[in-house]
Structure formats: C-alpha cells, structure tokens
Structure 1
Amino acid sequence: MATLPKSVIIVGGSIAGLLHGVYLKRNGTNVTILEQDANAIRSSHNAGICFGPSVQEFLRLYDDTGIQSCQPGVITRLAYRQNLYWKDANIVRHLTSWGLLYRILRANFDGFPSEAVTPPPVPRTGDGKGRYLSGKKVTSLQKTEDGVVVSFVGEDGMEESFMADLVIGADGLHSTVRSLVQAPMVKEYSGYISWRGTVCEADVSPGTAGYFQDRTVLGLLKGTYIVCYIIPPDAASFVPGTRLINWVWYCNLPETPETNLEELLTDSNGHVHTNTVPSGLVRPEVWKAHLAEMLPLIPAPFAELFAKTENPFVTKVNDALCSKATFLDGRVLLVGDALSTFRPHFAVATEQAARHCLGLGRVWKGEMTLELWEKEAVHYAIKMWLGSRVIGAGLLRGWSEFLFFAWEYVMFFTMSKIGV
C-alpha cells in the first residue's frame, strides 16, 4: 500500500499503537485502536523508558500538548562492585516514564484527559478521527477485495467485526496479529529476569538522592547488574523531590525445575503469569526472600532503593524476532515489539516503534517502497536483537554464551557488508 490509507485498525493500544495512531490521525486517516486491556487507561507500573531521536522528532511534529515530555539528556555513571564512582561515560539519554508518554499520546490521539494533560489539545484542521476501544480481543483477520475484516470479542462476550484499508499489529511480545498471519519468528527466554520499581526522591536519604541526580547509573556486580535513573511520575512533575528514582535489577534465573520460575510468576492471588507479575501483585514473601539473599552484596545507595520500594514487579526477559513485517499483500503490518522484542539493555523499544512509524510515513508519501521499509525494519531488528543478546550474556550469563552471541553479531555485520 503506497498511498495513505483512509481507514486503519491498530491492534494494541500501548506506545507503538498510539505512535502510529497519532501519525495517521494527523494525516487525515480515520483510526480505530483495539486494546485487549479492559481498563480505560493502561497501567504504567511507574516504569521508565528512554527517548531516542526518532521519538523526539515524532513529538516535535505531532504532539500538541505543549508539556515537557522527558528529563533532559543526562550522562551515564558506571559503578563496579563496591566502587560507586568507577567511571563516568559520555553516554547521553533522554528519560521519561511510560505512563507520561502514554498520556501524551492518548491526549493527541483521542483527546483523553489525564492528570498530566488537562485539558487535552483540540484537533488540528484536517485530522482524521481517533477511537480507542478497550477490552477488545482480536480473534481473526480476513482479507477481502476492499480491505481487511478484523473480528474481535468484547468484555461482554459479544463478537463484532470492523473493516479497514490497513491493519497494524502493534500488540507486543505476545502478538495476536503475528500469530494470525503465521509470521516466521523465533522467541526465547533469556535465562534471566528483571525486578523493577520506583522510589520517590523525597523518600530516600539526601546522599542517595544526590548519587542518582541527573545521571543514569549502572551498577555492575558479579552475575547481576542494576540500572537506575530519575523519571517524572505519570502526572508529569519534573520538580526535584517529586520525581521518581526508577530502578531495574537483572538477575539470573534459568528455567529449570530447581529454580522454580513458575513459583516466581505466581501472584498473591495464586494466578501464574506468562511474563510479568504486575506491581502490587508480587507475593511479599518472594520479594523479601530475594532481598534477604542479595542485599548483603549490594552497595548502599542501591540497597536503600530496594529496601524502600513498596510494590516492585518482576518480568521474564524474553526476546522475539520476525523476519517479515508485511502480510496479506501489504494490508497487514507488524510494528514495534510485535515485529521484534529486544532484551532491554539498549532501551530502544520505543525508538524502534517511532522508527517504524516515521518510516511508514515515507512510504505513504511516496519517498520509499513498502518493500524497502520492511527490509530496513527487519535489518534494524536483527541488529538490535543480536546486540542486546551480546550485552545480556556479557553482563549476566558468562563467557561461553557471550562469545557465541558475539560471533553471531560479527557474522551478521560481515554478511551485511558483502550483501548477503
């Protein structure tokens, strides 16, 4: 499809789906987002994300809220074992919270008001219509002469169908669209998990708050590592003392009977989760047992964050990679994590989604073909997928796995250079 579609259904109402929804709406397309989560606004878990140049460019062009969207660029500090000031690196990142970016995009897409964006911006002249429908689980896709029929089931069990010129699968790691089109893919558990949480700056000691001020901090330990940085709360406050110190703690946990991964993913209600036990549902005894084992090894500023986190959440670190992004003669596309989910060490998931969106804009403007967009999207996906595996193996998994993934990474670039 080389021209801008008049109607689009996007499956998945998270960041990737909203980026594409806002772009299409701004260019006059009528867009319906089908989100499986029944809540009117998605839970953020106070998770942090990183901005790349594509995200910044997208917001410059299409965000009309006028509010600050991220923490300005900050340097990166490396702590090695107990040496808290081992090295400062000139790696600059723009940081924000998932919840704030979600609220900004929702305000632009369907005028959703929130504590961050009050009131939402008025539509631009020439905007299409944006609908965000929660609690809709897609069950089938059928290509016709006029477009694609998307069938879905609501919370009440009623089946409905919509037709659109184009369907975009932006429904993440466990993508329904990807399954329905039988996309060729590989999917793998990494062998490690991530604990995540936030603590308000005002709730930690001045020394700890100062240590994490205006920088990303990586704590490199034996067989585990920690990433910390400051983000705004979902309400968009960037005032020191009101912000959150966001942390991610990676720990090895192979999927074996001895490690009992299923036990970790069983929440306080007895439900076993596939991937993430949400904030507030992690069983207290599981978190306390982990802290009791690990805190004696953790430097003081990190240990204080963990001890003062009330509702952490835990996630299996998976990755997934598709070798194809277009289906049904270009009427169905996979974008964001639905196309490829990286281990999060590069923090480029949001950047990838924005790249996909801006790239499709070039297709619809006639500046590149859909085939070239797919080729570039898949090439970027393979590069980041391989690179994130190298980093994860080097920091967590040991030399043999690191060398294997590094060899794959080198071979990919070598073959790319010679045109294979």
Structure 2
Amino acid sequence: MEPSRTARAVIVGGSLGGLAAAHELAAVGADVAVYERSAGNMRARGAGIVMQPEVEDLLGRLGVTAGEVCVELRERQYLHRHGQPDRYAMPQLMTSWDTLYRTLREPLDGVCYQLDSRLRRVTVEGAEVTAEFGDGYATRGNFLVGADGIGSATRRLLDPATRPSYSGYVAWRGLEPESAVPDELLDLLSGRFTSFGTEGQQMLCYLVPGAGGEVSEGARRVNWVWYTNVAERDLPRLLTSRSGRTYATFLPPGEILPEVGKELMATAEVALPPQFTRLIEVSDVFMQPVFDLAPYRMVADHAALIGDAAGTVRPHTASGTSKAFGDAAGLAAALRDWAADRPLPAERLAQWEEDRLVQLVTLSGAGMDLAARSQLGTPGGRRFFAAA
C-alpha cells in the first residue's frame, strides 16, 4: 500500500495570523508555503499587543516564554484632565507586533515565504487549489488559507459582495523609544497601563519591547493609541500624506501633513490630560481608521479564512491577534491526519467554522459595546477633526 501524499497548504498573508497558521499546519504534518503582498520588509500596522493565552500557547510550543517577549505591567492608572491619577493593581504582560513577528518568522527560515505576492485568482480543480499572483506566478496546493487581513484578497475572491465598513472613529498611534520620552513622563507611564476617556475619545498607553525585542529598562518603547470620532467625509484629508498620496487604511509614521499635525496638537491640548498631550508632542504619529467586517463564513472549497480576513473585532477587546492564533490552531486540529489523496474532513471543518464564528460574533459584539461606552462610533458621539 502506497503511503498517503502529504498535503500542501498555501497561506496567503504573511503577518502574524499567517505565520501562526504556518506553524500550526506544519505541526500536523502539512507542507506550508506563505505568500505576502508587501513588497519589502513587513511594517507593523499596530504596535502594542496584550499577551493572551492563545499566543502564549504557540510561543511555548516554539520554546519561547511570554516573559522573553513581553514587558510586565504592575498597575492600571486613569488620568484626569486635572488632579492625581487613580491607580489599582493589575499585572499584565505586553508585547508588540514586530517582536511577535520576528519570534514567529525566524523558525520558518526553511519555509517558502514569498513577498510581493498579490493574490489575483483562486481556482479549484478536484483536490488541488491554484493561487495565481499579480506577477504571473502561480502555485498549487491542496488547501488555501486566507490570512491576509481586513483587506483580504482571498475573501474578495471567495465572497465578492463582502466589504469592510468604517466604524466612525480612528486610532492615532505612536511608538517611541523610552529614551526619547521625558524622564518625568516615563516615570509616570512605566510599569502601568494608563488610560483616559471622555465622550467620543479614549487614549491608552503602555510600554512594549524595543525595536529589537528588548525588554530591559532603557531599551523598551512607549506605545500609545488615541481613539477619536471622525466623520467619514473627513477621512481623506486626514489620510493624505506629505507626498500627496491618500491612503485607504493606514497613514504611516512621518507622513502626517504639517497642518494636520498642528490640528492634532491643538485638539490634544484641549481634550487630553497634559501628560498625554506631551507624549503626542514627542511622537512620530501614525493613524489607522477602525473598520468593521461582519462575520459571514470561514470555509469554502479547499479554502478557509482566518483572523481579520474572516471578520473583525474592535481593538478594545485586545483579542485581534489571539483570535487569529485560535483560528489557526483550530483549523490545524480539524485538518490533522488529512492527506492530499484523501477527502477533506468536511465535518471537522464545519464544526471548526461553527465554533469560531460563534466566538467571533461574541467578541465583535463585546468590542462594539466597549466602544459605545466611550461613545466611539455612536451616532451622537462628539466628533473631532472636522474640516472647516
């Protein structure tokens, strides 16, 4: 009797979810290949990540402890526009996108990981799926995993009618070396999860590992995010870069227009505690609009969607990364012992889809509820950065 043929998984998307899928599928015996649309070095579109059990579990199986890739916090504090902060004990571990990326990417050095691969077409013939890319390159496998984020080309090809919708607010962000932050401000923020919120806005801050993954004092970075309601009609102006390009989903560091930067500081001075205003002043600000993508399905013919490609959760749940990792682990479990010359385990895949969609709907609703508490994205919430 001939041995069964090893299944080959084609993973579209080389960010954290795609890397998690590569590790999980390889662990159950699949050959994996990863195709990422970015042409150059991957660039973090988020910054800080709260360590969650799904992430810690995969790291542990790779021989990495959470403490090696995290900054430990001991307290939470709430700032006021005037007066002393309110504090209470709340230990947490914080990591960063680039630290996790590096930790997951390095063990895959021997795996096909191809950049500048924009998916253009997917075809299924029998037990084989073919992915064709914009440069004319095509690859074949037995199963395709769409881990290519909220702008997923995989999802558009499988479900052309699905589109993300703007949530009504944006995330202004900063990620600065702690050496660039004034000492008195660093003393206030170090070791603490710091927050402030009023109608239509919320700001959070905590320290994360340094650019090289360093977790020692003096080598870390200060990560912050300021959510503000912004009308959809005002987005193009805020997403226009110094070069004149208008971005759709992410304005990179260094690209904010000078006049928008002045508006940002003027708004911060009247809306935020002075400590947060000072932090923004010393930061190279970047920005992401917050989008929603309603969950629909995760399984198609010899294909599956994971992470934001399958549906989004608001960032307030601190679970976007962990959800993608959980999706990948569950998908690998459903495909365990499957070989290329055997029928797909349809019942296990259907059960995985059902379970993950239930969780996705729950997390999505929880994130919207958390946003609504600060009137973020709500019809009556205060709006900022309106054009004159």
Q: Structure 1 length normalisation: TM-score?
A: 0.82
Which deviates more from structure 2 when the two are superposed, residues 359-368 or residues 236-245? 359-368
Residue identity in the other structure for 1:18: L
Whether 2:275 is the aligned partner of 1:304: answer no
Contact 1:25 1:109 in 2 (8 A): no
Please report how far the alpha carbon of residue 87 of structure 1 lies from its aligned counterpart in structure 2 after TM superposition. Answer: 4.2
Which of 228, 249, 270 pairs up with 2:244? 270
Please report how far the alpha carbon of residue 344 of structure 1 lies from its aligned counterpart in structure 2 after TM superposition. Answer: 0.7
Distance 1:35 1:65, change over 3 A: farther
Distance 1:63 1:149, change over 3 A: farther
Distance 1:143 1:66, change over 3 A: same
Please report how far the alpha carbon of residue 321 of structure 1 lies from its aligned counterpart in structure 2 after TM superposition. Answer: 2.0
| TM-superposition CA deviations, 1:367-404 (whole Å, max 9, x none) | 982111101111111111111111112213487779xx
User: 2:17, 2:97 → 1: CA distance?
Assistant: 12
Contact 1:5 1:166 in 2 (8 A): no
Q: Where in structure 2 are the equivalents of 1:197-212 lying within 5 Å?
A: 197-212=174-189
User: 1:196, 1:204 → 2: CA distance?
Assistant: 15
Contact 1:215 1:229 in 2 (8 A): yes
Q: Where in structure 2 are the equivalents of 1:322-401 lying within 5 Å?
A: 322-328=295-301, 331-365=302-336, 369-397=348-376
Contact 1:51 1:350 in 2 (8 A): no
Residue identity in the other structure for 1:171: D
Please report how far the alpha carbon of residue 83 of structure 1 lies from its aligned counterpart in structure 2 after TM superposition. Answer: 4.4
Whether 2:72 is the aligned partner of 1:60: answer no
Contact 1:321 1:381 in 2 (8 A): no
Whether 2:256 is the aligned partner of 1:282: answer yes
Contact 2:119 2:153 in 1 (8 A): yes
Structure 1: gaps of 5 or more residues: 111-128, 403-420
| TM-superposition CA deviations, 1:215-263 (whole Å, max 9, x none) | 211112343110100011220111212211100001111113xxx2211
Structure 2: gaps of 5 or more residues: 338-344, 382-388
Q: Helix, strand or coil for the counterpart of 1:345?
A: helix
Partner of 1:416 in structure 2? none
Please report how far the alpha carbon of residue 38 of structure 1 lies from its aligned counterpart in structure 2 after TM superposition. Answer: 0.4
Please report how far the alpha carbon of residue 209 of structure 1 lies from its aligned counterpart in structure 2 after TM superposition. Answer: 0.9
Instruction: State the identity as a percent.
Output: 27
Q: Where in structure 2 are the equivalents of 1:107-146 lying within 5 Å?
A: 107-110=106-109, 130-146=111-127
| TM-superposition CA deviations, 1:126-173 (whole Å, max 9, x none) | xxx51110001111111111310111123xxxx121110110000000
Q: Helix, strand or coil for the counterpart of 1:148?
A: strand
User: 1:73, 1:209 → 2: CA distance?
Assistant: 13
Distance 1:398 1:177, change over 3 A: closer
User: 2:191, 2:86 → 1: CA distance?
Assistant: 17
Whether 2:171 is the aligned partner of 1:194: answer yes
Distance 1:69 1:397, change over 3 A: closer
Please report how far the alpha carbon of residue 6 of structure 1 lies from its aligned counterpart in structure 2 after TM superposition. Answer: 1.9
| TM-superposition CA deviations, 1:243-286 (whole Å, max 9, x none) | 11100001111113xxx221111111111111111112222221
Q: Helix, strand or coil for the counterpart of 2:43?
A: coil
| TM-superposition CA deviations, 1:67-103 (whole Å, max 9, x none) | 912223544322344344224263x432111111111
Please report how far the alpha carbon of residue 47 of structure 1 lies from its aligned counterpart in structure 2 after TM superposition. Answer: 1.5
User: 2:74, 2:162 → 1: CA distance?
Assistant: 36
Please report how far the alpha carbon of residue 45 of structure 1 lies from its aligned counterpart in structure 2 after TM superposition. Answer: 6.0
Please report how far the alpha carbon of residue 318 of structure 1 lies from its aligned counterpart in structure 2 after TM superposition. Answer: 0.7
The CA RMSD measured in Å over matched residues stands at 2.5
Please report how far the alpha carbon of residue 186 of structure 1 lies from its aligned counterpart in structure 2 after TM superposition. Answer: 6.1
Partner of 1:316 in structure 2? 289
Contact 1:149 1:161 in 2 (8 A): yes
User: 2:356, 2:157 → 1: CA distance?
Assistant: 20
User: 1:149, 1:45 → 2: CA distance?
Assistant: 29
Q: Where in structure 2 are the equivalents of 1:38-49 lying within 5 Å?
A: 38-39=39-40, 41-44=41-44, 47-49=47-49
Contact 2:200 2:229 in 1 (8 A): yes
Partner of 2:384 in structure 1? none
Distance 1:399 1:10, change over 3 A: closer
User: 1:389, 1:66 → 2: CA distance?
Assistant: 29
Distance 1:399 1:13, change over 3 A: closer
Q: Structure 2 length normalisation: TM-score?
A: 0.88
Whether 2:14 is the aligned partner of 1:13: answer yes
User: 1:96, 1:373 → 2: CA distance?
Assistant: 28
Please report how far the alpha carbon of residue 179 of structure 1 lies from its aligned counterpart in structure 2 after TM superposition. Answer: 0.6
| TM-superposition CA deviations, 1:111-133 (whole Å, max 9, x none) | xxxxxxxxxxxxxxxxxx51110
**Count of aligned residue pairs for this structure pair:** 370
Contact 2:73 2:193 in 1 (8 A): no
Distance 1:59 1:397, change over 3 A: closer
